Amino acid sequence: MSRNDTLFARAQNVIPGGVNSPVRAFRAVGGTPRFVARAQGPYFWDADDKRHTDYIGSWGPMILGHGHPQVVEAVTKAALEGFSFGAPTEREIELAEEILKLVPSIEQVRLTSSGTEAGMSAIRLARGFTGRNKLIKFEGCYHGHADALLVKAGSGLATFGFPTSAGVPADVAKDTIVLEYNNIAQLEEAFALHGKELACVMVEPIAGNMNFVRASVPFMTRMRELCTQHGALLAFDEVMTGFRVALGGAQSIYARLIPGFKPDMTVMGKVIGGGMPLAAFGSTREVMAQLAPLGPVYQAGTLSGNPVATACGLATLKLIQQPGFYEQLAVRTRQLVDGLQREARAAGIDFTVDSEGGMFGFFFADHLPQHYQAVLATNKERFNRFFHGMLDAGHYFAPALYEAGFVSAAHTAEVIDGTIEASRGVFARLD
């Protein structure tokens, strides 16, 4: 018996479903999760010591690959100095300064330990700043498991087919308005009906929790106009896209396409922690002044700004600013998706792809979906067979068709060529 099977059976006795985050359970694709023993560069090794090319990278943070020596050195040094203090450190300031330097829309930032915590706090701050209660989110976008956001959420919930989560009172969710992604008419109607009551619109500019679906420029332009017109804050959830799709995040891409564009608030995670538990939310000084200890909006965290996590994040942010880093990362990511599409077409399989920076998505469909319901209509059965075929060949993609994928700087042209070559045989067996 595989040691992965043994560990999974053991885990299910003591952990609900045998995992500490639902999508890891392989329920969407079937089979046994791979328990990771170690990782280095573009690879990880499972409990059976089988090597896998890693295309999830801890769901985004490992942009440099696993075990980058300069990051390991920074983390080791910080760990020797102390794991946690519950008091401020200079490194928190340095990390905040680095984030502000790279993301011009943010004037101040508050560090947290998770993306869920940052997203929840950003919404509370938006409500406190505006004095309003209602918010807009979009079907298929996932902003963490805070009660008010588990309303037709994507990601793990979509994997299990639940439109909402049990345990969320109706009164908590009643102020959350859920719209179709990329639907301008619905957006305009919602503002016409509720504009004076809306505290914020929270959106993934490139949704990574219904695979990879980017907001259209007209949709984003109209969203910015309506928020400004009605006094609602536009909150960008860049937990996945921040420092992943570009050095300035997805907002820097839209700023190039839409003159004067910027969000009012930004939520970040993943890359800014380099793989450690670290996230953040930020806005203008005026908005952030409402946050305790300056203002009446309370938010706190014992491990916020953890000294080991900030060391990891700071080292990562320094390294990704090297000249040509993102250009090379985008080339490698495009090499992967273009290669997969080429092999699929050769096998007569409907398959479409998209990517930005080091983030990518693919669908078993003849065109790119623009919203969640279109994602649901893609060929799930073919995706599952593709996933297991590639897994057997030693290439690990997300174990659910609702999740984006990630390439790191450690994925060389040769590594990616190996994945493309393996896909040839897998695609040939799908039809």
d(CA 8, CA 175): 39
- pLDDT for the residue numbered 173: 80
Cα angle vertex 360, ends 234, 322, to 5°? 80
Share of the chain above pLDDT 90, in %: 91
Lowest mean pLDDT among 53-67, 155-169, 302-316: 155-169
Share of the chain above pLDDT 70, in %: 97
SS3 335: helix
Q: Which of 46, 54, 175, 237 is catalytic?
A: 237
Using the predicted structure, report yes or no on whether residue 262 has a pLDDT greater than 90.
yes
Q: Which of 270, 354, 396, 402 is catalytic?
A: 270
The residue ranking higher by pLDDT, 97 or 142, is 97
Mean pLDDT of 176-191: 94
Q: Which of 43, 142, 396, 402 is catalytic?
A: 142
How far is the first Cα of the chain from the last one, in angstroms, to the nearest whole number?
31
Q: Which of 274, 158, 267 is nearest to 213 (CA)?
A: 158
pLDDT band at 218 (very low <50, low <70, confident <90, very high): very high
Residues 316-345 have pLDDT tens digits of: 999 999 999 999 999 999 999 999 999 999
Helix axis angle for 380-392 and 413-428, nearest 10°, is 120
Q: Is 431 a catalytic residue?
A: no
- Check: CB of residue 389 under 8 Å from CB of residue 426: yes
Mean pLDDT of 240-259: 98
Cα angle vertex 58, ends 157, 204, to 5°? 50
Q: Is 237 a catalytic residue?
A: yes
Residues 16-69 have pLDDT tens digits of: 999 999 999 999 999 999 999 999 999 999 999 999 999 999 999 999 999 999
Using the predicted structure, report yes or no on whether residue 260 has a pLDDT greater than 90.
yes
Site of tokens 């599409």:
341
- pLDDT for the residue numbered 156: 36
- pLDDT for the residue numbered 164: 59
d(CA 329, CA 336): 11
Mean pLDDT of 204-223: 97
Mean pLDDT of 88-110: 98
Phi-psi sector, 300: left (phi>0), alpha (psi -120 to 50), beta: beta
Burial of 49 per CB tally in 10 Å (0-12, 13-18, 19+): exposed
Residues 379-410 have pLDDT tens digits of: 999 999 999 999 999 999 999 999 999 999 99
Using the predicted structure, report yes or no on whether residue 220 has a pLDDT greater than 70.
yes
Output the average pLDDT for the chain: 94
Cα angle vertex 60, ends 56, 61, to 5°? 125
Q: Is the peptide bond before 293 cis (omega within 30 degrees of 0)?
A: yes
- pLDDT for the residue numbered 46: 98
Mean pLDDT of 236-252: 98
Q: How far is CA 321 from the centre of its chain?
A: 20
pLDDT band at 273 (very low <50, low <70, confident <90, very high): very high
Lowest mean pLDDT among 77-91, 136-150, 311-325: 136-150
Site of tokens 């990362």:
329
pLDDT band at 152 (very low <50, low <70, confident <90, very high): low
d(CA 11, CA 369): 36
Residues 6+ apart with CB under 8 A from 44: 36, 37, 38, 51, 52, 54, 66, 396
Using the predicted structure, report yes or no on whether residue 210 has a pLDDT greater than 90.
yes
What domains are there in the chain, each with its CATH number?
Answer: 89-319 (3.40.640.10)
Mean pLDDT of 149-164: 47
- pLDDT for the residue numbered 158: 36
Mean pLDDT of 358-387: 97
pLDDT band at 168 (very low <50, low <70, confident <90, very high): confident
Burial of 274 per CB tally in 10 Å (0-12, 13-18, 19+): buried
Residues 6+ apart with CB under 8 A from 331: none
- pLDDT for the residue numbered 10: 97
